[in-house]
Structure 1
Amino acid sequence: MAYADQQMSGNRMIAIVLVALLHVAIGYTLVTGLAYEAAKAVVERVTTIDVEEPEPEEEPPPPPEEIPETAPPPVVVPPSPFNLKPDNQLDDTTDKEVERDERVDPFAGKQTCADGRVIDKTASCGPTTKTCPGGQVIPVNATCPPVKPRVQPKPPTPRGNAGRWVTQNDYPSRALREEQQGITTVRITVDARGEPTGCTVTGSSGSGLLDDATCKNMMRRARFNPATDGEGKPTSGTYTQSVKWEIPQ
């Protein structure tokens, strides 16, 4: 009995010691763990520095790219080999083309008469012939032939002796001194009363003095029977005459 009690007492002591060691270990663990956490918190509080990072500045957007002002190439659409328009649209297009052609055509709404005149369709061509003064009936666009006079027209004729209109007495003295001579031809304009109204030298004698003397005396002395027309009525006309200037011997 004594041996068994001793053995039980030894086991109890061992158990008590183990329990004590276990509590010590647990206490140590708790103490060391709490101390570590506290120390870690202190270290983090001491060593941690709150640094405020500056907000990044917004960069301005890049300028838009300059696009050259060039017209895009024309898009060529090949013609369709098939006409997909409805029939009514095709007829409308044809009518419009006809109307456009009539506007462009300068002879649209015109008509050509038998004499070649082009007039409006609403106008009348009128007669196709006309009667000339001589009684001939010809196409309206033709020219009438000249009318034959009932009497033969006549030019002016001298009244009296035309040789007395300019004489040797009319010889300019200077032309005599310089021995100027020659033939002067003049054309005289005569009115319906038979009086001269103008004188033109058509052939010079080579001397201005002699030419001037010819016209001067013709205008002063010449008188005519007036010219007559195809009806026998007096009319204006012209008369031509030559004067020979020759130094007397």
Structure 2
Amino acid sequence: MMAFADHATQTNRKTAVAGVTAIHAIIGVVLVTGLAGGAFMPDEDTPLKTTVFKTPPPPPPPEPDEAVEPQKPTAPLPYVPPPPMPINNSEPTINTAPELPDLADIVIRDAFPEGDPVVPVTPQPTPKPVPTFSPIAAKPSNDPGRWITESDYRTSWINRGMTGIASFKVTVGTTGKVQNCQIVASTGHSALDNATCKLVSQRARFDAARDSSGNKVSGSYRTSVKWEVPR
């Protein structure tokens, strides 16, 4: 068995060496043949054609722009301010009074049935204001010093030393006569107080008082009398 294996191995080695040699031979034949038959040798009479590669021409230069003439500088126009607006310093007049219709245009419609004539209202004249009159108080028209005199002092009153001041108030009628007398401050003696009102009511006379219309009205007057012993 071992002998058969060594024989087979040797046989395979020979075959492989023969194959490699054959391949080398074929490659050499191809190379020789290709170099011999594939080389191009031109004839002497045949001119050789040469190809010249030309460089493309440069692009044309850009056309120059049209010359623009510079404009001459112009001077700026002078500034002219607008004319000032007029100022009205006067204050506006505002009418705050309500607008009232004319009295002549007012008509009465409710007083008449529909269809009856319309009666215009005639404006009444405004009455003239009556001038005012300052009221006047009653004042004496005769001498108050003669209303009570020393002769009215009775001897009994003197002997008893009855003295004093009697203040009184009288009511004066429209005729100027005393209508009433009232003691407002007593002398301390009823006889002197009663004599005072009695004598004044008989002797005093007045100008009657008047109201704001100038008419005579009742008024009042107040004064005093001093009772003292005559010398």
Length-normalised TM-score, structure 2: 0.43
- Between Structure 1 and Structure 2, the one with more helix by share is 1
Of structures 1 and 2, the one with the larger relative CO (CA 8 A, separation 6+) is: 2
Structure having the higher Rg = 2
